[in-house]
Structures are given as C-alpha cells and as structure tokens.
Amino acid sequence: MSPHVIIPVTEIGRARSVATPLGDVPATGLLRDQLGRPLTDLRISVTDRCNFRCSYCMPKDVFNKDYDYLPHSALLSFEEITRLARLFTQHGTRKIRLTGGEPLLRKNIELLIEQLAQIRTPDGAPLDLTLTTNGSLLKRKAAALKAAGLNRVTVSLDGLDDAVFRAMNDVDFPVADVLAGIEAAHAAGLGPIKINMVVKRGTNDQEILPMARHFRNTGVVLRFIEYMDVGATNGWRMDEVMPSSDVVARIAAEFALAPLQASAPGETAQRWAYADGGGEIGVISSVTQAFCQDCSRARLSTEGQLYLCLFAHRGHDLKPLLRGNASDQQILSSIGHIWQGRADRYSELRALRGPDTALPADSPRRVEMSYIGG
C-alpha cells in the first residue's frame, strides 16, 4: 500500500487538501481517538434542507429564500454514502443514523436505506440503522422505510399543544400530522420509537408534563433535550436552557421515577423508569452535564465532510477521495488518521469555563446543526 495517505482538510469556505506521508491504518475495528474513544456511531446528513424552521435550529430570518443551500451536485450520492458507511463499519462503526436537515426530504431515501441495510460488520452482524425525522412525512413513508430495512425512528416533537407546536416549527405545521406519523411508524414496526423534545424555558416547558402523560404506557421513549448552543444563528442564551434536573423534578412530582442503567456505552441519554411500570423517559443534558468522555460519534455532512464534534467549526473533506481514485485502503487510512487525531470535547471544556460562558468573539464560526445533523 502507498505510504502517502491523503488527509484532506477543509475549512468551511476555504478548501484545501494536503497529501501527508503517513502510513496505513489497518481496519481492525479497534480504532481509538486521542482520548481512547472508539468510532462506533456514525450520523449521516442526507440533506441540508428542511420544511420546518425551528428557531433553535434553522431560524427563519437566516434560512430564508436567499440562503445558499448546497447544489445537488455537491451532495454525496447514495453509492458514495454506502461506500463510506461500509468503510466506517470496518473501523468499528455499528450504528448509523440518517439525519439532516429533514432526511425524508431526500428523494428516494428508501434506496439508500436498502443499500445500507446490506452492510455487515466484520463479525457478520447487520448495522443498527435508524433515522431522525421531524415526522412531517412519516405517515406517507413509514411502511416503505421499514420495507427498505430501517430498524427504528426517532421523531422530534416539541409539544402537544397545537399552537405551541406550530410556533416551534415556525411554518404552522399541525401537531396532529406528526402524531399520525408516529402512529404509522408504530404500525410499520419501526420501534421502539424515541421522541426528542427540545425544551426551551419560557417557550415550551409547559409541555413537559402533557408530553410525559401522553407517551406513558405506550412503549414510546420520550427524551428531553437541553437547548444547545450549536451553530451560530439561533441566538442561544443560557437562561432559555431548562436543566434536565428540573425536567426530571417536574415529572417526578407527578410520577415516581427510578434511575436506569445506560443501555449502551456512549449513550447520550440518562434514563429513568416510571416506578409503576409505565415505561421510561430519558434526558440529554448536553449543556449542564457534558458526556464527551464517552462520545463515540462521528458526523458526515451532506457533501462528505467528516466532523468529529457537533460544535466543530471545521470538517475533513472526504469527497475528493471518493471522486478521485482513492482505494478503499486509502480512504480507510484517512478516516483512521482523522479519528486517531481527535481530541474534541467541547461540552466538557465549556462546563469547565462555566456553562453560561459566551463564545469568545474571535471564535471561528461553528457549523450549523442542519448541515451536519443532530
């Protein structure tokens, strides 16, 4: 094998690729980063577009008709995505989550799922294949997604009150249609279904208890996410973050809760069971309790940039390798070197500075969540 492995590095808006004389990184499935973390989880964004304008993610005044979305030619094809997914699997990836933007807006997404569902880990197991969606197209697509080989879905839902929900998505989308999508996913066998609720204090925190009551005893796992300072456009303020401890206290005041063990290493949610057997909830405390030490997630943007952290301002461009004539081993080695160099732990460092520390004015612009996916 050539000792000249191409390590592509791209800064947003300023692409450069460098050929670095580094050796091969064999695919042992045991790849570790600088902090000893494996690469078990890959999130793939399949579009940077969305039909919602959640203010915490794609605020309307920024993501308007003048916004520069990626042209179709810049998107990775399904074949390119599948090739990368197969190579990641050889480095130890077991779980792939499709995301966006809104992944169900990507035309023929079922065909991509069919291809990904064929991949086997080195020990012959299929991937854990999931998708995060706003649910708006789920009623129409759930059965086809299941037939294509998708295992599960996570649906984002920020409240049950129609007026609150329409205001949160900011395109006046009715909550009933998302609930119908969740029903369809359940009927299609895309479970256990998870629901993600981003809690913004003063905007939808009054929905915490109605959501808990609604999803108890249904088998659906409701997870509350702290509003995060991702990207550079959502005008994040610490006083709008509702700490997970407050969410748990509110629910525990009505229903007794008991802590549960993490179901897998690197799991982002802390889990709680209803003491009466009514199921479980989870809280994702990205702001108040960093979980970087177990973070085994890589993120692949719609155009093939590999991001090592949700809060990164720079990705590593894999597209030139895919569209050049790099061999599988060269791409494996590049991914290997990139991961071996990873030391990202943004949330931990922010917690050390103090959680409400504003981003320094001279910080590079961070990537948007709708670009790399949640």
Binding site for ligand SF4 (CB under 6 A): 50, 52-54, 57-58, 100-102, 134, 156, 291-292, 295, 297, 309-311, 344-347, 370
Q: How far apart are CA 327 and CA 274, in angstroms?
A: 51
Q: Select the residue interacting with ligand SAM from 182, 230, 281, 298 (CB under 6 A).
A: 230
Exposed, middle or buried: residue 29 (CB in 10 Å: 0-12, 13-18, 19+)? Answer: middle
| Angle made by CA atoms 287, 12, 299, in degrees to the nearest 5 | 50
Residues 6 or more apart in contact with residue 71 via CB below 8 angstroms: none
The tokens describing 188, both together, are 């299609």
Closest contact distance (angstroms) between CB of 57 and ligand SAM is 4
Q: Select the residue interacting with ligand SAM from 25, 39, 42, 56 (CB under 6 A).
A: 56
**Residue 133 binding partner per list ligand SAM, ligand SF4, none, with a CB distance cut-off of 5 to 8 Å that depends on partner kind:** ligand SAM
370 contacts ligand SAM (rule: CB under 6 A): yes
241 contacts ligand SAM (rule: CB under 6 A): no
**Residue 311 binding partner per list ligand SF4, ligand SAM, none, with a CB distance cut-off of 5 to 8 Å that depends on partner kind:** ligand SF4
Closest contact distance (angstroms) between CB of 251 and ligand SF4 is 23
Cβ closest to ligand SF4, residue 127 vs residue 178 = 178
Task: Tell me the site size for ligand SAM, rule CB under 6 A.
Answer: 21
198 contacts ligand SAM (rule: CB under 6 A): yes
Q: How does strand 41-45 pair with strand 95-99?
A: parallel
Residue 238: Cβ within 10 Å count: 15
Cis peptide before 192 (omega within 30 of 0): yes
**Residue 230 binding partner per list ligand SF4, ligand SAM, none, with a CB distance cut-off of 5 to 8 Å that depends on partner kind:** ligand SAM
The tokens describing 229, both together, are 């300072």
Q: Select the residue interacting with ligand SAM from 102, 110, 205, 207 (CB under 6 A).
A: 102
Cβ closest to ligand SF4, residue 115 vs residue 133 = 133
Q: Which residue in the block uniquely carries the two structure tokens 């961070």?
A: 366
User: What residues pair up with 306 in beta bridges, in sequence order?
Assistant: 300, 316
User: What residues pair up with 154 in beta bridges, in sequence order?
Assistant: 132, 194
Closest contact distance (angstroms) between CB of 197 and ligand SAM is 8
Q: How far apart are CA 284 and CA 243, in angstroms?
A: 9
List own/partner pairs for 65-72 with CB under 8 A and 24 or more apart. 70/302, 70/303
Site residues (vs ligand SAM, CB under 6 A): 50, 56-57, 99-100, 102, 132-134, 156, 196, 198, 225, 227-228, 230, 234, 369-370, 373-374
